Amino acid sequence: MSTQVETLEFQAETRQLLQLMVHSIYSNKDIFLRELISNASDALDKLRLEAFRDKELAVDLADPRVEIETDREQRTLTVRDNGIGMSRDEVVGLIGTIAKSGTAELLQKMQQQETTSGPAAKELIGQFGVGFYSSFMVADRISLLTKRAGEKQATRWESNGDATYTIETVDDAPQGTAVTLHLKPADDEDNLFDYTSEWKIRELVRRYSDFITWPIKMEIESKDSEGENKRELKTLNSMKALWARARDEVSDKEYNDFYKHVSHDWRDPLEIIPLRAEGTFEYQALLFLPAHAPADLFTRDAKRGVQLYVKRVFIMDNCETLLPEYLRFVKGVVDAQDLSLNVSREILQQDRQISLIRRRLTKKVLSSVQSLLNDDVERYRSLWTEFGAAVKEGLLSDPDNRDTILELVSFSSTHDPKQQTTLRQYVERMKEGQRHIYYMTGSSRSIIESSPHMEAFRAKGYEVLLLTDAVDEVWVDSVTEFDGTPLQSIAKGEAGLETDEEKEASETERDEKQKEFADLLAWMTGKLTEHVKEVRLSTRLTTSAACLVSAADDMTPAMERMYRAMGQPVPQVKRILELNPGHPLVAGLRKAHEERGDDVELAETAELLHGTALLAEGGELSDPSRFTRLLADRLASAM
């Protein structure tokens, strides 16, 4: 008996995704079975945990399993579990909607690129709920029957992959979930195999799901001792936990398949990190460094963390406590032997053993990255391109490992237009007499390289690090040195490029220039007092007329913009305008000021000089229309 069938529409992004699935964005269609088995395994994990936490929950735990059933005549394949199941609201919420914002963003990117294949399309596989949708690559219609543990009524869901699905409440159904695929005809040219074939199912289970800790069962046809055909339920997988096996007992392929199971990534991992701790307390871990960053790496609501088991019993997905946030891209499993099964996220945050595991896992991941840097530079560069911006967050949040992270980080620099450099490599290349590691932050390499601040450093042949990630604006205020060598921004404070001998030799000339320009500097400081705290002569400019610099302890303009974008009010920080005394414009302005004093046009020229310095560093004018009007007037008068 069931209630009336209700027809609902998919969420807009879900409809788009279904169309992509129906038209086969993924060449390896076998992936659908891995995803369905993975979902079934998760449901069994959650049931065992729920039953442990709620002793009153009326559930059957006698024979937890995943079953696969095929029907050649009807061309159907069913994957069934007796796990936690879903309520009606959960079916609508999880299957009718894409809950993960990164998927919607990826769809938009694909539409802009007008592509439905390649890495962007494949990245959709494994997004929250998308693993289920992958079944539409092989099926014309999908039926789902599910009953949540402890509830009396079940829910039937069905769709053929168009804009709608049907849903109804069913009174009689077993606990758990059964997904039935009404398969498309086999098509070898399109890599669409006969998924009712017993040997094909056995092959896929061995390939992708052999490590699942629950039995995956299927009726297998065989002959008895008298040669008669018989069918019996057999377990297809070995159920061996890979993290409990020695490294030399497991092939890279097994590790890769396990990674795809825990991460829902379609690609192989970049690095495999097995770990075993014995002694006061024991745990085993199997961690992976992905090859590519997920679309939601920098979104606030992204899920992170590794899976936590206790004595092979699944406790939780996405255990954030086990690794710091800056290593949120690391995937894998941690199996602790001495924790209580009745553990919550709140308890984990206070647990001493978890804190110790976290420290050891963090050091192990960082040492693995260091090994890549030392022994496999190409793979290190690949990792850093994908995750470097996230790792640099650790320079702020993890002071205990800051020195280790500083050895790992790499940056673009003026030394090589293509290859990045580590701080250690920078220090080894420092010129004789150089006392600082020079850097500049900015939104892009091209903007920094064209900045007036670079002129004197380029002329002196000093290498400058080009820091273009948003996090670079923040950590540089906390990290003052690397292995005893101070870091210095070339856009803050005095340039300080002269040696003691050079300072002594040019002291007389510098004093003369200061006296010569004293009146102009004082006058411009007064005229521009709303915008700058001081106007002074520059030692860092060689070709540009002027540039803006921040005082050594002041917040940079980029930091100001970041705080305001987050809704945090910050006072405007006035900066210092430096003038190049050798530039014709500055020399002409000094002479005109001597002759015409407080001329209105001179004040406007001073304002234009400040505006051009702001634009040269990629800044924003406070009054663009006034600047363009003044510039047009000056150009007209020069004609």
Binding residues for ATP: 35, 39, 81, 86, 100-102, 127-132, 177, 345
Closest listed residue to residue 101, CA positions, set 267, 264, 297: 297
Query: Could you identify the residue written with the tokens 């995943």?
Result: 66
Q: Which residues are CB-neighbours of 207 under 8 A, at least 6 positions away?
A: 30, 257
Torsion sign, CA atoms 601, 607, 613, 615:
negative
- Helices 600-616 and 584-596: crossing angle in degrees, nearest 10, is 160
Q: β-pairing, 464-467 with 437-441?
A: parallel
- Amino acid letter, 470: A
Output the known binding site: 35, 39, 81, 86, 100-102, 127-132, 177, 345
**Distance, CA of 350 to chain centre:** 27
Q: How many residues does the chain have?
A: 639
| Helices and strands: H and E segment counts in the chain | 22, 23
Query: Could you identify the residue written with the tokens 């979902």?
Result: 39
Per DSSP, which regions of 370-429 are E strands? 410-413, 416-422
CA-to-CA distance for 418 and 423, rounded, in angstroms?
16
How much helix, strand and coil, in percent to the nearest 5, is found in the chain? 40, 20, 35
The pair phi, psi for residue 419, each rounded to 5°, is -100, 140
Other beta carbons within 10 angstroms of residue 3's beta carbon come to 12
Torsion of CA 470, 471, 477, 478, to 10 degrees: 180
User: Contact at 8 Å (CB) between 551 and 576?
Assistant: yes
- Amino acid letter, 638: A
235: enclosing H helix or E strand: strand 229-235
CA-to-CA distance for 323 and 346, rounded, in angstroms?
15
